[in-house]
Amino acid sequence: MDIDAAVFDVFGTLTDWRSSVTEALAETGGRAGLSADWAAVTDAWRRSYRPALGKVLSGELAWRPLDELHRLTLDEVLPAHGLGALGEAERQELVRAWHRLRAWPDAASGLEELCRGPVVTATLSNGGFGQVTRLVKQAGLRFDCVLSAELAKSYKPDPRVYLMAAELLGVEPRRLLMVACHPDDLEAAATAGLRTAYIPRPLEWGPDAAPVAPPTAVDLVAADVPALAHMLRGAAR
Amino acid sequence: MDIDAAVFDVFGTLTDWRSSVTEALAETGGRAGLSADWAAVTDAWRRSYRPALGKVLSGELAWRPLDELHRLTLDEVLPAHGLGALGEAERQELVRAWHRLRAWPDAASGLEELCRGPVVTATLSNGGFGQVTRLVKQAGLRFDCVLSAELAKSYKPDPRVYLMAAELLGVEPRRLLMVACHPDDLEAAATAGLRTAYIPRPLEWGPDAAPVAPPTAVDLVAADVPALAHMLRGAAR
């Protein structure tokens, strides 16, 4: 496959948001003397993310950074789990938990290998530009550059986000590979004219989650990031 | 000095555009059977850059990527040096010479050290986003992310470019350090509220060029990038 650049989803595909945010909730909530099924709170918070994005994409909500969407949804999720007592400082701290996520164990070495090759690598995340920059730096995930949906003042799966990436990188969409563990992200990228690579992350929603149906039509399937790096070796001109 | 992020000028501060572009001109022109004082052609091309930027900033020219400005000015410079015979393919090749510049010998190790520390590092270049991404990748210059004036659809020294960097990185301008070898870049950054670091590059215009007057008011002066990295160790929160 001839590609010039590969862009990566970050939440889920490269980082284990669930265990990281669950830990942050348990720590912040515990300090405040509260108790809850913290993983269930994390899952509810994450599930509220797509509907919030949908409101932005439909125009019901004006575009705002992901941090602000996370805060809106947190303020809904906490009282629903008996955690309405959490204060302002704690809520701000929890929003920032999404800036420090643990990488999946294979991600750093695979990205490092890709950076040494000819294919340009970038994030393509719904996280804010600064948020994703700090997140990948602290997680040790190396890229040639950072791209965020913020640069298109929209969110994936809006096709403008994928096309913004192609335009800024100066590559044709058909020579740009979107890498993600979420079938809907890959389907939207393919519709925008990009190539697609699927990396399954069966543990994204925890060990007890129902299996995710794999996407039906992608260009590549790789077990993890090093396997993808191996497939892409020598792919660029 | 308390800073959260450092942004770097690229052409001149980190890369030796003069020897790199002179080589490209000599090679492309030589292949076409032409001869000239190639370094003088390079200098003339580079000198035509500020006036071209000025036309964009004054509104005389609509904003366009740096590649297109380089092409406009190349088309003026070539005939003035008896090189009007160079064809379309050669001219395109010469514009792309600005995508592959040799780094100054100290730059890679200093940037690598900075990337391992807490301060977020980025380019802040008038080069296009994709152009700078490829340039730093091929030159082995590591950053946490790439920023380009293209993201503000303007050019330095427009204050909007410096403020765009602060906004995208999510840092206050007074906690953002602009690093450059060009006094006017640093003065404009300071006027926009940023901190400034000067790295002299006495060889930027070649060994016989007149010395550049150092800037009068900067926050830091460093002999090279490793010296700057040493000064910034532990600077971020």
3-state secondary structure A181-218: CCHHHHHHHHHCCCEEEECCCCCCCCCCCCCCCCCCCC
Looking at residue A234, what is its pLDDT? Answer: 63
* Interchain proximity B137–A130, CB inside 8 Å: no
Percent of chain B with pLDDT over 70: 98
Looking at residue B211, what is its pLDDT? Answer: 86
Helices (H), B48-116: 49-58, 66-80, 88-96, 107-116
Between residues B237 and A129, the one the model is more confident about:
A129
Report ipTM for this prediction: 0.94
Tokens for A139, please give them: 């997680």
Q: Say whether pLDDT at B1 is over 80.
A: no
Chain A residues within an 8 Å CB radius of B115? 137
* Interchain proximity B120–A137, CB inside 8 Å: yes
Q: Find tokens 């191996």 and name the residue.
A: A230
Q: Say whether pLDDT at B233 is over 90.
A: no
* Interchain proximity A133–B145, CB inside 8 Å: yes
Chain B residues within an 8 Å CB radius of A150? 168
Q: Say whether pLDDT at B237 is over 90.
A: no
Q: Could you give the C-alpha distances from B113 to B16, B98, B141, B146, B225, in angstroms and in order?
A: 21, 26, 11, 17, 9
Determine whether A60 is exposed, middle or buried from the number of CB atoms within 10 Å of its CB (0-12, 13-18, 19+): exposed
* Cα(A32)–Cα(A72) distance, integer angstroms: 21
Q: Could you give the C-alpha distances from B12 to A115, A181, B221, in angstroms and in order?
A: 24, 41, 16
Q: Say which amino acid occupies B6.
A: A
As annotated, the residues of chain A forming the CATH 3.40.50.1000 domain(s) are 5-16+101-232
* Cα(A137)–Cα(A148) distance, integer angstroms: 15
Average pLDDT estimate for B138-144: 97
Looking at residue A235, what is its pLDDT? Answer: 65
Quick check: A71 and A52 in contact, CB under 8 A?
no
* Interchain proximity A144–B136, CB inside 8 Å: yes
Quick check: B123 and B147 in contact, CB under 8 A?
yes
Buried b (16+ CB within 10 A) or exposed e, B146-162: bbbbbbbebbbbbbebb
> Can you give the pLDDT of all 237 residues of chain A as single tens digits?
799 999 999 999 999 999 999 999 999 999 999 999 999 999 999 999 999 999 999 999 999 999 999 999 999 999 999 999 999 999 999 999 999 999 999 999 999 999 999 999 999 999 999 999 999 999 999 999 999 999 999 999 999 999 999 999 999 999 999 999 999 999 999 999 999 999 999 999 999 998 888 898 899 999 999 999 999 986 664
Does domain B17-99 bear CATH number 1.10.10.10? no
CATH of domain A17-97: 1.10.150.240
Chain A residues within an 8 Å CB radius of B171? 130
Kindly give the pairing relationship between strand B120-123 and strand A120-123.
unpaired
Q: Say whether pLDDT at B62 is over 80.
A: yes
The rounded mean pLDDT for chain B is: 96
Chain B residues within an 8 Å CB radius of A131? 170
| Among the partner residues A128, A130, A170, nearest to B130 by beta-carbon distance | A170
* Interchain proximity B129–A169, CB inside 8 Å: yes
pLDDT band at B236; cut points 50, 70, 90: low
Average pLDDT estimate for B84-89: 96
Superfamily of domain B5-16+101-232: HAD superfamily/HAD-like (3.40.50.1000)
